[in-house]
Amino acid sequence: MEVIKIQTVCGFGCGSSLMLKMKIESILKKHNLKAEVFCGDVGTCCANNCDVIFISKELSERIIERAKVPVISVDNFMNQSEVEEKTLKFFKNLKNKEG
């Protein structure tokens, strides 16, 4: 399988999305998972090539209709357990799809 591409998104793609990117990378390392994580902004994120988008709950409503990949809404980027739970759930679902 190709490397999973995770896009973290915020309003401008350089603030909270960077913080979320670092949290997800930490979780990947902790659980020995491989993925490429990169930041994007809410205006262009749907045009970027990725396998999943992690975004705040508030902004997710702006992209959910046009996204071609799963959109995972995060209530609080600072909540490590929420981010970890949702990241691991994504990988579990991905593994189940592969069979």
Assigned CATH class of 4-92: alpha beta
Domain residue spans of the chain: 4-92
Average pLDDT over residues 28-45: 97
Partnered with residue 36 across adjacent β-strands are: 5
Q: Indicate whether this model's pTM tops 0.85.
A: yes
* Residue 99 pLDDT: 67
- pLDDT-above-70 percentage for the chain: 98
Q: Could you tell me if 93 and 30 are in contact, meaning their C-beta atoms sit under 8 angstroms apart?
A: no
β-pairing verdict for 52-56 and 36-41: unpaired
